[in-house]
Structure 1
Amino acid sequence: MLSILIPVYNYNVFTLVETLYNQCLESDISFEIICLDDASNEFLTKNQQLNQLNNVSFSSLKNNVGRSNIRNLLVQKASYENVLFLDADTIPVHYDFISKYIQELQKGTTIAYGGILYKDIKPPKEQLLRWIYGRKREALKVDDRIKNPAQSAFVSNLLIKKEIAVRFPFDETIIKYGFEDMLFFSVLKSGKIPITHLENPVYHLNLETGAVFLNKTKTALENLSFLYDSKKITKDNSKIIALFVRLKTLKLTTAFAFLFKKTASRIEQNLLSEKPSLLLFDLYKLGFYCSLKTK
């Protein structure tokens, strides 16, 4: 019936698995929960205890393979025709999380994204940028998500038929962090695979510091540049690329990159402050992307 697939990296996944396990038992379905660790060095002893639960497995890879590869490996391990991808640092918001997805399967849904939320409690200053960004840009209601289904979904909470995940695997040329979800959904869109959106959210729990988030954003933009240069995505897949192409047409990319280098440190001060501006963050990302393309 359902294979729940959880990639793990340096995170205690016990509470998430226990929650899912109990909901699956309540729903009275055939299920398995497969956790695959991407060569972590933390929480291994605690996570190994998951193997004591029926229909639950936790194992660890010897070498780090990356976010795309590990998801493909999880799909290969799945025994059932339906798979549910969840990130390790999430937790279902509602007690009927699994049963809602079962209802979707009974309707014949092939892919469903349930959404993501961030808790209302304001985090410390060091984590504000990630929290505000998540609440404003990722935690979208269904009415907003369905306006652009392929660009409003994440693999962190995704129900999908195994045969579709096998037919459209994650691109393993993406080694570093960033935009692997966007590429996956753009490929599904090209394959005319419809994505259902519903309100069945998980909380994203593991907030990074602003400094870590900025560094990961830069890495992700390097990935974005690679994907665009290799023609795996187009400007229609990314607002950043679309803006870059417009600036390039106006012959303003070099000037924008120069301005970014002059103002980056001041923008970073704002982004790491108690009142980070998402408008400045957007300009920061565009400026960094332009600087990548004008080296």
Structure 2
Amino acid sequence: MTILNIISTSYNATRPTLSVLIPFFKDDASALLRALDQETTTHPVEILIYDDGTGDAELTDAMSAVVNDCQGAARLITNSENQGRSAARNALCDNARADWVLFLDADMLPAKSEFLQSYLTLMNTADADVIFGGFQVEPKAENPDRDIHRALSEVSDCLSLAQRQAAGPQYVASSNLCVRRNVLAQQPFDGGFSGWGWEDSEWAARVSKHFKLVHADNPAIHLGLETTDTMLRRFATSGANYRRFIDAHPDLAPQLSLYKISKKLGRLPGQSLMRPVLKLCVKIRVLPMRLRLLALKLWRASHYAEALS
């Protein structure tokens, strides 16, 4: 394993108040880095971006150039091997210098110009150990193949502050997540998760039992909506991660609608035979979106039913 470090000229020995941590794999984080850098010149913030084994020299060069152009403190860490989402976040936390860290995904943008200032204020006033700011999705673009991910995000992720507060840890994700670094030292992300999904849900459920979680209205915009085929593939291959999440929190499982549906499907003989029909319904764009979403959720539950059996 080879580690490459690129550091901006403004990266000095002054200890920051907040470390912004951005893991990525084959994503270009340039737009996010430039947007954040506009605030780092006036606030005690550092930005660390971590390439989890992309292996693309052209992307590395592009990200290095952006880091070198930053006016504030910025650092690129490039790993030659892919270690997974949990390991990437833990590695970023190990290299952070501030007492608070803010996780953002590379395909996000702040929803407002005072994004970092809002977190700096909350860190001092919210009486919290963990702060989740919430999500928005980008305006509808001319790409209908990503509409189902947008629709799913709107009903599952882009929730109001009141909805998130009522649910507690259930709607916390590991992007746009501000955390005291000592919390992560005691409760790191579980490196046993591989591939996509559920490591952030498991972490939030675990941490909320020991530390104070607060929801805030400081959203980031999710730009990287996935195609229909990518959504289908991720849901079909993340069953093992879901099983790991459920095994870690059996007390939470009975409260989750996905768990209850998956268990019911698991009791139906030959339930997997309905998957071709569900997949077809998800992909037919002329169907009402609510029916496509229902088919997508049943597709996921069908695969999870096998993982839970």
With normalisation by structure 1, the TM-score equals: 0.90
Quote the sequence identity (%).
21
Q: Partner of 2:299 in structure 1?
A: 284
Q: Partner of 2:131 in structure 1?
A: 112
- Measured after TM superposition, the shift of residue 188 of structure 1 is 0.8
**CA distance in 2 between partners of 1:100 and 1:135 (Å):** 23
* Cα distance change, pair 216–244 in 1 and its aligned pair in 2 (3 A): closer
- Measured after TM superposition, the shift of residue 7 of structure 1 is 0.3
- Measured after TM superposition, the shift of residue 109 of structure 1 is 3.0
Structure 1 stretches lacking a partner, 5+ long = none
Q: 2:170 matched to 1:151?
A: yes
Q: 2:91 matched to 1:78?
A: no
> After the TM superposition, which residues 186-225 of structure 1 pair with which residues of structure 2 at under 5 Å, given as runs?
186-191=205-210, 193-225=211-243
Q: Which of 20, 24, 35 is residue 49 of structure 2 equivalent to?
A: 35
* Cα distance change, pair 123–116 in 1 and its aligned pair in 2 (3 A): farther
The answer as to whether partners of 2:199 and 2:245 remain within 8 angstroms in 1 is no
* Cα distance change, pair 21–226 in 1 and its aligned pair in 2 (3 A): same
Q: Partner of 1:121 in structure 2?
A: 140
Q: Secondary structure at the match of 1:4?
A: strand
**CA distance in 1 between partners of 2:142 and 2:149 (Å):** 10
Q: Which of 270, 291, 300 is residue 258 of structure 1 equivalent to?
A: 270
- Measured after TM superposition, the shift of residue 241 of structure 1 is 2.2
Deviations 1:76-111 (A, max 9, x none): 000010111100010011111111111101214321
Paired amino acid for 1:35: I
Q: Secondary structure at the match of 1:190?
A: coil
**CA distance in 2 between partners of 1:146 and 1:226 (Å):** 25
- Measured after TM superposition, the shift of residue 293 of structure 1 is 4.2
- Measured after TM superposition, the shift of residue 234 of structure 1 is 1.6
Deviations 1:110-134 (A, max 9, x none): 2111111112324422212211111
Q: Secondary structure at the match of 1:268?
A: helix
The answer as to whether partners of 1:48 and 1:59 remain within 8 angstroms in 2 is no
Q: 2:34 matched to 1:18?
A: yes
Q: Partner of 2:8 in structure 1?
A: none
Q: Which of 270, 273, 278 is residue 284 of structure 2 equivalent to?
A: 273
The answer as to whether partners of 2:197 and 2:238 remain within 8 angstroms in 1 is yes
Structure 1 segments of 4+ aligned residues over 3 angstroms from their partners: 242-245, 291-294
The answer as to whether partners of 2:21 and 2:92 remain within 8 angstroms in 1 is yes
The answer as to whether partners of 2:278 and 2:298 remain within 8 angstroms in 1 is no
Q: Secondary structure at the match of 2:192?
A: coil
- Measured after TM superposition, the shift of residue 41 of structure 1 is 3.1
The answer as to whether partners of 1:114 and 1:198 remain within 8 angstroms in 2 is yes
Q: Partner of 2:14 in structure 1?
A: none
**CA distance in 2 between partners of 1:130 and 1:71 (Å):** 24
- Measured after TM superposition, the shift of residue 68 of structure 1 is 0.2
Q: Partner of 2:84 in structure 1?
A: 66
Structure 2 stretches lacking a partner, 5+ long = 1-16
Q: Secondary structure at the match of 1:146?
A: helix
**CA distance in 1 between partners of 2:260 and 2:113 (Å):** 41
**CA distance in 2 between partners of 1:287 and 1:133 (Å):** 18
Q: Partner of 2:6 in structure 1?
A: none
**CA distance in 2 between partners of 1:227 and 1:183 (Å):** 5
Range moving further from structure 2, 122-131 or 4-13: 122-131
Q: Secondary structure at the match of 1:16?
A: helix
Range moving further from structure 2, 82-91 or 117-126: 117-126
**CA distance in 1 between partners of 2:308 and 2:216 (Å):** 38
Paired amino acid for 2:67: N
* Cα distance change, pair 243–254 in 1 and its aligned pair in 2 (3 A): closer
> After the TM superposition, which residues 123-142 of structure 1 pair with which residues of structure 2 at under 5 Å, given as runs?
123-142=142-161
Residues paired across the two proteins, number: 282
Q: Partner of 1:171 in structure 2?
A: 190
